[in-house]
């Protein structure tokens, strides 16, 4: 597995800066009323230089920086930006697990076979987010979620940290146990009382010491994580309402005939799967990935559903030609998928 954890940089504050460019150079806090009991939701990077942090009271933020600008949160606006961001990310890495408006895990392994190319994909994700919204994000790339999560926080803002396979435990070792996802205040206290402050110390605990400090499953889970072992898969929300095939070529392909052949072959397989489930589809989509990992897709929607592989193939080829007319070049991957899937049997009965 190659997984990236992505985190938008100072998200709420960054959105406010975009919408009010005059605020960008000033210390800015998105949060509650500073005269009441409001807390800082997000501080921009200028405000952080004054020691202002998320979850601090706004009153304390004002003490640290009397000229800090405090603006109330506008959640609907942030949700809209978030939606645009995730749509742009999906264009580069289709399989992902959102864990919040501004963070989530990306299945980078699906599009990059190794860690060197995973970095290129991470850069393509940053470019896509910047292109769609002007927002910046940071990514950590690793062999499992826990390491990716810690890594995404290392080079903020706008950073990428890649931890290649085999380096997980060494990467985590120097950090405070507090930074290890899953270590709550209670576990931190118990470990701290025994002099265990760094992840590397937790990783090195013997079974006996561990059972004494953090008995049961939780202790073993945290020690595994400290060693960079985390079998959690990505949990994608169920919105797989499409059937598709795609293929990454061993070498980039520019020959149009070869690309058409591939698409027609994949279309036949898609049609087989539709027929097996007694379904028809109204939308055909062709996806293209260029050598720089950027993606184009073209779709067409028909008035009636079809499950005919040759027709799906012909449409897919037309869509490819259209996309290549917009942006010519060799391709790293092509794919065909169908969506707006309907039950053939039900249609026939209706
Ligand atoms: Mg964030």
Out of 91, 103, 246, 262, pick the active-site residue. 103
Helix (H, G, I), strand (E, B) or coil at 283: strand
Digit-coded pLDDT (tens) for 290-340:
998 888 889 998 888 889 999 999 999 999 999 999 899 999 999 999 988
CATH class, 169-226 region: mainly alpha
Domain ranges of the chain: 11-75, 169-226, 243-349
* pLDDT tens-digit readout, 130-142: 999 999 999 999 9
Q: Give pLDDT tens digits for 158-182.
A: 999 999 999 999 999 999 999 999 9
pLDDT band at 348 (very low <50, low <70, confident <90, very high): very low
Q: Which CATH code fits 243-349?
A: 3.30.1490.100
Q: Span 11-75: which CATH code?
A: 3.40.1170.60
Identical fold, 11-75 and 169-226: no
CA 49 to ligand 1 centroid distance, Å? 17
Q: Which of 335, 337, 333, 336 is nearest to 248 (CA)?
A: 333
Report residues near ion ligand 1: CB below 5 Å: 7-8, 11, 102
Catalytic annotation on 103?
Answer: yes
pLDDT, mean over the chain: 91
Q: How far is the CA of 140 from the centre of ligand 1 (A)?
A: 13
pTM across the whole model: 0.72
> Is the Cα dihedral 336, 341, 346, 347 positive or negative?
negative
Centre of ligand 1 to C-alpha 316, Å, is 38
pLDDT confidence of residue 345: 55
pLDDT of residue 350 exceeding 60, the answer is no
Give me ligand 1 centre to Cα 101, in Å: 8
**pLDDT at residue 75 in the model:** 85
Query: pLDDT at residue 242 above 60?
Result: yes
Contacts 24+ apart (CB under 8 A), 57-64: 58/29, 58/31, 58/32, 58/33, 58/34, 59/34, 59/35, 61/29, 61/31, 61/34, 62/34
């Amino acid at each position: 597995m190659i997984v990236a954890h992505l985190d938008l940089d100072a998200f709420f504050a960054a959105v406010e800066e975009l919408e009010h460019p005059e605020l960008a150079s000033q210390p800015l806090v998105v949060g509650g009323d500073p005269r009441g009991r409001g807390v800082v939701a997000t501080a921009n990077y200028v405000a952080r230089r004054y020691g202002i942090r998320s979850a601090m009271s706004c009153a304390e933020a004002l003490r640290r920086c009397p000229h800090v600008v405090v603006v109330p949160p506008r959640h609907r606006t942030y949700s809209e930006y978030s939606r645009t961001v995730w749509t742009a990310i999906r264009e580069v890495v289709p399989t992902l697990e959102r864990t919040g408006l501004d963070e989530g895990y990306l299945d980078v392994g699906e599009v990059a076979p190794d860690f060197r190319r995973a970095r290129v994909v991470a850069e393509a994700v940053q470019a896509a987010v910047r292109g769609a919204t002007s927002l910046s994000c940071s990514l950590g790339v690793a062999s499992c979620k826990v390491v990716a999560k810690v890594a995404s926080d290392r080079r903020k803002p706008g950073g990428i940290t890649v931890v290649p396979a085999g380096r997980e435990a060494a990467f985590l070792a120097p950090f405070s146990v507090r930074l290890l996802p899953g270590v709550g205040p209670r576990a931190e206290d118990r470990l701290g009382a025994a002099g265990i402050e760094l992840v590397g110390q937790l990783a090195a605990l013997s079974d006996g010491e561990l059972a004494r400090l953090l008995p049961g499953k939780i202790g073993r889970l945290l020690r595994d994580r400290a060693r960079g072992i985390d079998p959690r898969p990505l949990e994608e929300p169920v919105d797989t309402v499409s059937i598709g095939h795609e293929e990454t070529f061993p070498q980039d392909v520019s020959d149009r005939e070869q690309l058409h052949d591939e698409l027609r072959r994949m279309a036949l397989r898609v049609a087989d799967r539709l027929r097996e489930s007694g379904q028809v589809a109204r939308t055909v989509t062709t996806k293209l990935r260029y050598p720089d990992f950027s993606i184009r897709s073209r779709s067409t929607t028909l008035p009636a559903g079809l499950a005919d592989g040759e027709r799906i193939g012909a449409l897919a080829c037309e869509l490819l030609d259209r996309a290549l007319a917009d942006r010519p070049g060799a391709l790293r991957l092509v794919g065909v998928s169908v969506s707006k899937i309907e039950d053939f049997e039900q249609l026939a009965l209706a």
